[in-house]
Amino acid sequence: MNSEMDAAAHISTPTSVTNTGPNQVNTINESHGNRNHNIDALRGLAILGILFMNIFFMNDSFYGYAPHLIQPKMDIFTEVVSNVFLEGRFLSLLSILFGAGLLVQFQRYESQSLPAYPLMKKRLLWLMLIGLMHGVFIWAGDILLTYGISAFLALNYINSDLEILKKRATQFVALSLILVALFSLTIEDDLYFRGSELHLEQLQEWSAGYLNTVILQLIQVGFMLIITPFTLIWFIGGLMMWGMALYRQGIFEHGLDRVTLLKCITWTIIFSVIDTLLGFSSNPVLKELSATTVIISAIPMAMIYIHLIVNLCKNSPHALSRLQDVGKLALSCYIIQSVIGVILFRYIIQYYAPELHLILNRIDYVFIAGIIIGLQLVFAPLYLRFFKQGPLEALWRNRVRHSQNKMTSQ
């Protein structure tokens, strides 16, 4: 994840502006040059922000947070805020950034006269292996495996004309919305609420020992591999392609124009309200349809985040520097979040304060996520004082470099 995105964190100075041909629209030659600190900060925001959603699934990776039968007002307030600013927003942002990274790394290989497609596929296969290990042995909510699969779809359009790229990306996202809506309607409305028989059963299953947890996670990862080609691959792949298009247009250097920004704000508000109303509906069909509207509202909000960070950072290494440092260690920070969350909820709380599983509310989970995020904002700058890259980033790049040497020596 970080290596592909780290590749996107290099731009040349404005004097290196290339032409506006069919595959390049008023943007900068970004295969070489100075680091794009905007993208580092955006990646850091995405990695930290995604924890606000993942934290609810750190104990029960399948059902996640168990709501109260009658929701407390603070739970309702927290969910409404989440529907506007958090839910699905950072997954969308991360997908867009990943696509930008794919494009720049591909161009870098080509500029060095290296076999771009084979090398990119090697990179993605190693990422998928890391994701598989993460999902089975640490936490089943892994996104790396899904990102790797989706990137294979996006790679097919990496050299496409800009307008065709955007058209296909939009079509893929629209297709995913239809598929997700149809799939969500097939899910039975389980009686999963705080203290219910299903909730207590899940607590027992996920705390029955590490071997049992690995089996459950293996089943869940296998299930995701089955449904991903029919749902998430089109959504994430489409957003990666939009990331390529936005990168070509210089959005990560200049942000959005005023009209586009206002459109994003409007669509975010409209679909966040619809998502909230559907989510609190007593009708199970309408409630399940909120899974579709949250995807629609997430995309324009992700674009707003891009605009805000670009304008706050202004490609300065000193602005939002802690976010930038997390962005440079994105892969390691993402896995560390899972390790901390799993240890906390499945072992520390389970063995020393199991009653917390029935007491902690949404705001408590958000508070815990905030503490972990604060630790990473402190840890990342300290780590980078002594090391140039994260441990997992180094491992991934070493494996990719080994594959590259073998390929180029043949």
Choose between 37 and 286: higher pLDDT: 37
Give the pLDDT confidence score for residue 313 in this predicted structure: 96
Residues 127-164 have pLDDT tens digits of 999 999 999 999 999 999 999 999 999 999 999 999 99
* Dist. CA 370–CA 386, nearest whole Å: 25
Helix (H, G, I), strand (E, B) or coil at 203: helix
Q: What is the mean pLDDT of the chain?
A: 88
Residues 271-320 have pLDDT tens digits of 999 999 998 888 777 887 888 899 899 999 999 999 999 999 999 999 99
- Phi, psi at residue 237, to the nearest 5°? -60, -40
Angle at 287 (CA atoms; ends 47, 236), nearest 5 degrees:
35
* Dist. CA 404–CA 409, nearest whole Å: 8
Give the pLDDT confidence score for residue 282 in this predicted structure: 80
Checking if the pLDDT of 389 tops 50, the result is: yes
Which tokens go with 332?
């390691």
For the chain, count helices (H), then strands (E): 19, 2
Residues 74-109 have pLDDT tens digits of 999 999 999 999 999 999 999 999 999 999 889 888
Q: DSSP letter string over 127-157? A: HHHHHHHHHHHT-TT--HHHHHHHHHHHHTT
Confidence of residue 188 (pLDDT cuts 50, 70, 90): low
Residues 252-274 have pLDDT tens digits of 999 999 999 999 999 999 999 99
Give the pLDDT confidence score for residue 410 in this predicted structure: 63
